[in-house]
Structure 1
Amino acid sequence: MIFPKEDKMQGQALKRREVIRRGLAMLVFSPWLGGSPWLEKPRLSEGLSFSGAKPLYLNQNESPYGLPPRACQAAIEALSQAHLYPHEHYVELKEKIAARERVKTEQVILGAGSTEIMTMAINSFGKKGEVVMAAPTYFDFEYYASLAGCRMKKARLDKNYRHDLERLSAAVTSRTSLIYICNPHNPTGTVVGGQELKLFCQKVLAKYSPLILIDEAYYDYVDDFSYESMISLIREGYHVLVIRTFSKIYGLAGMRVGYGLASSETIKTLEKVSTNFASIAYPSLKAALVALEESNFLQQVKEANARGRKFVTKSLAEQGYFVLPSQTNFVLFEIEGEAKQWAQHLEKLGVYIRDFQFNNQNWLRVTLGRQEEIEIFLNRLKQVKSSYLKLNRLI
C-alpha cells in the first residue's frame, strides 16, 4: 500500500464523517472527501467510477487528499459570517505566517493563490525592464509576463533538467528588472540546492538590482537535503520575493489562498497593484488559518506523496520510460512520438495529463493521484504505448 495506512487516520476519519453529516455544503469546499484514500483502501476488483463515465484529472497537480478536516469545518462555519468583510482574519493570517517564517507582518502579502502575487510582481517590476526565466518554466508565469508585454530572456535548463544558474546569470544585465525561478521546478520537478541558489542570488544582487522571484509552490513536498527555502535571504535584506500557495499540500486549491514574503518596501510596491484583502473570501481565510496548524495532517500527506512518487517513478521506469527525479507531487517522463498526440489518446480513454515539448524531446507530466487512479493511468498508458508501437510497425 503506497498511501497512508487506515489505522493511522481513524481519528481524523471519524471527524471527517462527522463533518460530512453536517450537510452538502462541505462538498463545495472539499470535492475529494467522498473518496479519500485515508478512509478506505482501494478495491480494484469492485470496479471504479473513473474507468468509464468519470474522467481522471491528473493534469493540475491538485492534492487527492483534500484539505484537513478541521480546516473544512472552519470554512463551513465561516459561512454564517459571510455577510462581514474579512479584514480581521486577513490580518490574522498575515501575522501567523510572519511569526512562522520569522519576518515582520509588513513583510507578508496575501493573494488569491500565489499566482495573484506573481502577477503583482510582473506588473510592478517586470514591465520596467527585461524578465529573465528558465526555458521551460511554469506556464502561468510566462503567460502573464507575455500578457503584460514584458520583454523576456530565457535560459535553457542544465543537463540534469534543473535551473542552469550560470546561463541565468549570463542572461542578467542592467536592464533586468525581474528574475523568475521556480524551485522545485515546474514542469520537471527537479530542485536546485539551497547553497547554489543562495550564492546565485547574492552574486546577481551584488552587481544588479532586479527583484528575484522565487516560486516555492511545491516547497512542502521536498525531501532532498540539499534543498533550502530562500526566505533566509529576505531576513538578511536581499531584494527577493518568495511566493507560496495553500493550493498544493494544504489542499485548498479551490479556495485560492497564497502568500508572498519580501522586504516591507517591496510589499508596499506590490500592494499598489493589489486588491488587498478583497480578493480572498472569508471562508478561505478561516480554512487557511486552521490548515497552518495541521502539522500532523500535512506530514502524513507528504509521506504518502513520497511513497506514491516512488511507486510511479519505478513503474514508469519498468515500462521503459526515462523519468526525471521529482521532488513534487507530479512526475515528468519522456516518450517517443508527439506528446500532444499521446495526451489526446489518453483523454479519449478518460485520463487527463499534461504534455510538453522542450530540448527536442516529448514529455508527459502526471499528477500523483490516489493509488487506484495511478494504476488506471498506468494501464491506460500501456494501451496508448501499444497503439503507438503497432502504428509505427505498420509504417
Structure 2
Amino acid sequence: MKRWAAALLLCLLLAFQLSLSPARAADRVYFTAAGSYILPLSDNTMPFWSGGYVYIASSIFTGRGREALGVSQVFNSDQDRLVLYGGGRSLTYDFTANCALDGDGAAYYPGAIRRGGVIFVPASTVSRYFDLVYSIIEVDQGSMVWLRTPSYGTSDKIYVDAAQYTVNSIYADYIRAKGDSRPGEGGPDGSSQPNTSAESQEGLEGKRVALCLKAGSDAAQLADALESYDAGAAFFFTPEEMERQGSTLRRLTAQGQSIGILADAGDRSRTVAEQLEAGNAALFRATCGKTRLAYLQNGGSQAVQDAESAGYLCLRPDLDRSGQALRSASNAQDLVRRLAAWRGDAAVWLGDSAAGTGLRAFLSAAKEAGGSCVSYRETGL
C-alpha cells in the first residue's frame, strides 16, 4: 500500500510539473546578437524553434548586423524571394519550396518561414553556408542566438558577462513596451492613454504616416532601418550635410526616400534663398537631381511664403515630435498611441530625435497595426 501511494504521489508531482512547462515556455524570450551588436527585443522578430531548427529574422542582415557579419539581404517582392549574399556567395529562398538554392542550384534545407510579414531563416544553415559561427547562450531572461565571424575570438561566457548591462537594458525596454500596451494604463503624466494592443491597432489601420527626419551622421543607420521594413521617409539635410554625405544622398535616392533642404531662417550670414540654392547645388553634385522640399527653422510665416513663392514646398508637419525621443521600444509605442488618436494621415517631424533602435521598433509596431510609413513628396502627403 505504501509503495502504491508513493507511486501515485510521484505521478501527481510529474503531472503538475508538466502542467507548468507551457507557461514557463511562454514567458521565455530569445535575444538575437550579431558580433558585438545585440538587436532590440521584439515579439515580431524574436527567434523561435521549428522542426528542431532555431529560426532568426532575416532583418539581422541589415544595418549593424550586416556590418558585423558581412552578409546582406534583399527581398524581391515581385518574385516573392529573399536573397542573402556575402563573400561572393548567395542563398535564394523561394517561398514556394522548403529550401534555399545557392548559385549552382544546390538545395539547402530547411527553407525560410514567414510570420506576420517577417521572414525567418534557419540559423544553422545560414551560418554554415556563409562561414559564420552561432551559439545559443543562456542569459538571465531566457536565451540568446549569437552569430559572429570565426575571427571574433570570444567565448560564450565572456561575451554574456560583458553584454549583461546591454541585455538588461534591452529587456527593460521590451517589458516597458509590453506594460504600456496593457488596457487601462495611464500615460507618463497619469492621463488616460489608448492601449496598443487594441485601440492602436484600429487607430492605425490604413493610415499613412510620413516620417520627416533631420539628417545627420546617423542618416545611413536610419536608412538601414527603413530598408528592413520597406518603409519610406523624408530626410532633410542642411547644405553642409549635403556636401559631406554625398554617398548617403545617392543611397537614399536609389532607395526611393525623399530628400529635402533644411534651412535656418535665423542665420544672419545667409538668406533662406541662399541656403536653399546651396543645398540644391550640393544635391545636384551628388545625385544629378534637385528637390523642392524644404523645412524652415526659426522662421515665421513670411519666410515660408517667400520660399514657397520661389517654388519650394515647405513642410508643415501635422505633429512635431522633435522634442520627444524615438530611441527605444517604449518611445515607439508612445508615438504609435499618438498617431492612433490622430484623425487621418499624418506628417510627423522627428527632427534629430530618432535612433535606429527606436525607428525599427516603431516601423515594426506600425506595420503590425496596419499603418504604412511613406515618403513625404514634393506634392505633399
After TM superposition, the score normalised by the length of structure 1 is 0.26
Larger-gyration structure (1/2): 2
Identify, as 1 or 2, the structure richer in helix: 1
Identify, as 1 or 2, the structure richer in strand: 2
After TM superposition, the score normalised by the length of structure 2 is 0.27
Q: Which has the higher contact order (CA 8 A, sep 6+)?
A: 1
